[in-house]
Amino acid sequence: MLIEQTLFGTVDKVADAIKLLREHEPPEGYYLCFSGGKDSVVIYDLAVKAGVKFDAHHSVTTVEPPELMKFIRDKYPDVQKESPQLTMAQLIVKNKIPPTRQARYCCRLLKENGGTGRVKITGIRAEESPRRAKRPQVDVDKHGSTHVHPIKNWTVADIWQYIRENNLPYCSLYDEGFDRIGCVLCPFQTGANTERDLKRFPSIADYYRRACRKAFEARSDVGRRWSSGDAMFDWWIGQRHKRTIAADCNSVPLFSEDDGTVL
């Protein structure tokens, strides 16, 4: 619940979030990280209610659901779209392998490099992962960007309560049963959600498959790994079910020793 009674008194999560945003507002205003998901629409509205200066940005990954892109365009036209230097397909060809749980180069290059040096508002929540739970509500990354996480301690029930009470718009995919909305065929998805994406977004699945074919052609050691680009794609999709690296890839180094880029 957004208002909770604790041993230390009443906790008003909305008031606390607004207070946090006001306390850390920089003179130039915030860089608000807007993905178009449910958490994004909440932090956007909180920033408006807090009366802080901000500009909202959506880092385009080139593999978002069409419904998500339409939602942002129609309901949040002021959000600035940040185009990547390389598309997802180009990154797959460059790295000669699609992104995996062990080699997740995509988020770093497509989603996390905007607003360097700015004070950012993010929608991360502790409930999402142990790593996020350990982060303080305000932190600074190695690039000098300060991150403010106003809804870090909110639950998914809190998010939906706020959306409904404030009559906020949200992407239609949630009404189709999607619990999280982001990149189609994200390697962190479960096997069930992967199967759902394959059926729901066949053109994007084909986009990945064509990228795998080009990545296969770019490899000089294909004989030890996959027999074709289609086999690479099928292996990649299969990882959601196996959650392990294929036996014929156990000796393949996925990261370089010097800078963490994918080989």
pLDDT in tens, 174-200: 999 999 899 999 998 889 999 999 999
Distance CA 263, CA 254 (A): 5
Asked if residue 68 is part of any domain, the answer here is yes
Radius of gyration from C-alpha coordinates of the chain: 20
Query: CATH code at 138?
Result: 3.40.50.620
Half-sphere exposure of 132 (CA within 13 A, CB side): 17
Count of structural domains, the chain? 1
**pLDDT tens-digit series, residues 98-144:** 998 888 888 888 887 789 899 999 999 999 889 889 999 999 988 88
Asked if residue 204 is part of any domain, the answer here is no
Asked if residue 201 is part of any domain, the answer here is no
Asked if residue 190 is part of any domain, the answer here is no
Tell me the whole-structure pTM to 2 decimals.
Answer: 0.87
- Of 223 and 261, the structure prediction assigns the larger pLDDT to 223
Distance CA 118, CA 26 (A): 9
Asked if residue 138 is part of any domain, the answer here is yes
pLDDT-derived band at 166 (thresholds 50, 70, 90) equals very high
To 10 degrees, the CA torsion angle through 215, 221, 227, 232?
A: -40
Distance CA 110, CA 83 (A): 9
In this structure, is the dihedral angle defined by the CA atoms of residues 165, 167, 170 and 175, taken in order, positive or negative?
positive
Asked if residue 59 is part of any domain, the answer here is yes
Asked if residue 250 is part of any domain, the answer here is no
Range of the domain at 161: 3-86+105-176
Asked if residue 136 is part of any domain, the answer here is yes
32: phi then psi, degrees, rounded to nearest 5: -90, 120
